[in-house]
Structure 1
Amino acid sequence: MSSSEYAPVVDALRARVQAGLSMDEAIVVLQAQGVPIVPSMKAVIDLFGVSLDEAKQRVAGHPAWAGVRKASEPLHDALELLADAMKGQPFRKPHLYRVAVTALFPLLGLEPIAEDWSGMDAVLPLLERMRQDGAVVMVKWDGERKAPGDAPPYTVLASVPGRPELFFRADLPVLEEALARVLVEYAVKVWNP
């Protein structure tokens, strides 16, 4: 829905607000009419004269937006993980590396990929960008690692020759998790999205 499409919805609400429509009721109407969450916040500011912080809390916290809020939690968490990494803080939710890779694509101006990406093909644009940076990337499938106590079968290594601080390694039981770990750690140190 474009701004020209939701402007009439907001204008129609203005009279209803003046007639006593509550903020909660207006939020429900905005959501039901298909006004996106951010423009809904703007409308609440305009219609009720509240601050941006209050509008964000009231709209995003409203039960009408619970589904959207729930669906966006993994991406929000992934962006939080990236932000923590850029500040040098430890990863609080390491299971989100794969979602963080998904978040990297638009941050780097690349076509987005699905959150449930699998295999190397999905992340080739990131691997190619690493190659263009001069990085060397190796992926190892180790069929000999089968016994209990062996290292996991997938190893992903990335390094930048002449830059010993830019060495990344992940040995994990799932290829996508190993790729994601190295990609995110590389992105944070080199690309700083």
Structure 2
Amino acid sequence: MDSEDILSESKNKIRQGASPDDIITYLHVRKFTIAESIKAVRHLYALPLGEAKQLVAMHPAWKDVDQATAEFHRELIETLKTDKDTAFPAEETAYAKPIHRDSQTP
């Protein structure tokens, strides 16, 4: 079953009374990614992106992904606050030199 078939089946389920929770669970079971699920819910319910994102991300089916992402963000922020090696002066980086796209030199 491809994604179009799954969306079609989701529409049928909605017509038969399936709730948004039911649909999000169905999409998760059918191996939609969280991004694909947000896009599908946005389309199926004509929701703004932020609302669809919140609805999907807060759903219990995606709790593990939400927790992992939150933990990653906490660790990243903590590392950036404490790791002095993350702040490189521009002259020390390989990318500090201007790139001249018109020239023949690499």
1:25 is matched with which residue?
22
With structure 2 as the length reference, what TM-score do the two structures score?
A: 0.71
How far does the alpha carbon of each residue in 1:46-87 deviate from its partner, in whole angstroms, 9 at most, with x for none?
111111111011000111100111112233332xx3xxxxxx
Task: Flag the structure with higher strand content.
Answer: 1
Q: Which runs of 4+ in 1 moved over 6 A?
A: none
Structure 1 segment 124-143 matched on structure 2, within 5 A: none
* Equivalent of residue 16 in structure 1, options 4, 13, 17: 13
Structure possessing the higher relative contact order (Cα contacts under 8 Å, 6 or more residues apart): 2
Report the more deviating stretch, 43-52 or 5-14: 5-14
1:149 is matched with which residue?
none
CA distance in 2, matches of 1:182, 1:7: 48
Percent of matched pairs sharing the same residue: 28
Q: What is the CA RMSD across the aligned residues, in angstroms? A: 2.4
CA distance in 2, matches of 1:5, 1:74: 32
Letter in 2 for 1:184: T
CA distance in 1, matches of 2:68, 2:17: 32
CA distance in 2, matches of 1:6, 1:69: 23
Structure 1 segment 50-89 matched on structure 2, within 5 A: 50-77=47-74, 78=76, 81=77
2:38 is matched with which residue?
41
Letter in 2 for 1:43: A
How far does the alpha carbon of each residue in 1:19-56 deviate from its partner, in whole angstroms, 9 at most, with x for none?
21111110111111110001100100111111111101
Letter in 2 for 1:17: I
1:183, CA displacement in angstroms? 3.0
How far does the alpha carbon of each residue in 1:115-174 deviate from its partner, in whole angstroms, 9 at most, with x for none?
xxxxxxxxxxxxxxxxxxxxxxxxxxxxxxxxxxxxxxxxxxxxxxxxxxxxxxxxxxxx
Letter in 1 for 2:23: A
CA distance in 2, matches of 1:75, 1:11: 35
Secondary structure at the counterpart of residue 87 of structure 2: helix
With structure 1 as the length reference, what TM-score do the two structures score?
A: 0.42
Letter in 1 for 2:61: A
* Equivalent of residue 183 in structure 1, options 45, 64, 85: 85
Letter in 1 for 2:86: V
